Structure 1
Amino acid sequence: MIPKTINKKFTRFIEDNSKVLPENTAFDLNQKFADLERKNTMQVVVLLFPHREGESLYNIGLELFNSNGIGQKGKNNGLLLLISTEEKKIRIMVGKGLEWIYTTEVCKNIIENELRPLLNQGKFEELVGKFYEIVSQEELELQKYKNIKDIEFYNPYLGNSIFNKGNQTVPEYIILLITTIFLGRVISIYAFLWLTISAFFYTYGIRKFEKHRKEEASVFIRIIVFIITVISSFFITFGFYPWFVFAFFFTVCFFLLLCWGEKSVYYQMIFDFLYMHEYFCLNKSFSMGA
């Protein structure tokens, strides 16, 4: 149910049903939003009304958004800012064509950091003006309203180290870099030990497995399974970050180059190590002297 104080059919970009904006200000802002539509086809409507009358802003906004067809046809690139002036409530409704830019996170940060302080002070003119400044920005400038830039990092065990001064914020990329370097070194040590152990068995001539090789599945499949396992563990640790995709692509290519062909030492060592692991697990009676 739409509150009775709201005009259901929009005729302008600034719908001031609360009469809190001076007429000249409302006219100027209406012109700005009209120019914005001509510039980038995005339709932005601001609705100010006194009271929700028991309805939620979401239900009010959804019905008005759809009934007025906010946004260009075929693009669905509309925005609707709802402001309940007496209750100090505010919400941004986003058309599907803009959801990839104005995500829930972005809209929340815009409201909490930019608009709500003005709303609480009753500065509606400044609020609508600030909203225009935000939506008229380029797409890249809107990235500042995403929380991927910084994360809160506090560890009581670090005392007053460079990472921890009170509740100081540390850039996420620094933590990712340190974590990646640490894990990279751990994995490098593990890989070195793995190849060293394989080389040890290979050098001391444990060749009794030679005759069984033809019966085993292709080592290529084993390598792929190993790589997929490592990639999965990284994705679980870090989440899906695009730069890891490229890093793993080059890592996999390099790994396959090292193991390419049956004459490759790495190929032989990996094969021996994997096969011996299975042999030890399946044949408890195996001994080095057998």
Structure 2
Amino acid sequence: MKKLLLALLIAFLLLWITPFRVQAKVWPQPQGHVNDFAQLFTPEFIQQLEVKLVDFKAQTSIEIAIATIVSLEEDTVENAAVEIFEQWGIGQKDKDNGILLLIAKEDRKIKIEVGYGLESVINDAVAGRIIRDEMASAFKQDNYEQGVLLAVEALIARLETGSGKVLDSVYQAGATWPAGFILLVCLFIYVFAFLSRSKSFYAGGVVGGFLGLAYRVMAGSSFFMIIIFILTGLFLDWLFSQNYKKLKKAGKSTSWRSSWGGFSSKHSNTSSGGFGGFSGGSSGGGGASGGW
């Protein structure tokens, strides 16, 4: 009886422990937004699509990744998509605004995996429709490039105009600041870089007043904006002048090109070379799968 109970206990423990010993497959690291491990695309197409996705990320911060694999190796396309998405970290970490388009060649399966931050725009129905309408028919004719390009264009179009929840904040951010105001801010910095060399900071208030008046004429702002420009001019002139004096006393460079009138600039060592990876986003479990 004791042996029987011991055998049952061991069997129970094995059943309990085994699932936790199963590890997710380690997928190859991404080499860019387009990762053609199954060799379905031409180099020219990969470059064209990479440029499109990089530009879209620069405009919106949304990361769209393409991955083609030869086989799922008895796994499901849904599980493989989640694993790749999490291992690559597609999308911004604080926004989860990534999308993965996974294609398994031999299994003839497709999965559009969507980050949580985009599920309200690319919901399951939208993702499923893109697979059926844009990809499946082209894939049946072995035209993988056309199917993927149509899918990417459909995703981008939906993200740009679909529900208006994703890109409004991106495009309207610039619209809330009139071009005239931005121009005056740049002029502010340029002028105060030279005013910093003067002994008095009152000139900054005068310059600020003139710029405030110019802004009122261009943008039709209230008289209160002139006061703000004057106070800002006084403060900036004083701030730049103080820092200029400190650098000059320390024997450091105070030239316009190297220090912006007293504020030394740090030169970045970042190059625009190879792909630096995605941004740490997570999958929301949304999207759709299909086949051809």
TM tier, shorter chain?
0.3 to 0.5
Q: Taking CA–CA contacts closer than 8 Å with sequence separation of 6 or more, which of the two structures ends up with the larger relative contact order?
A: 2
Larger radius of gyration: 1
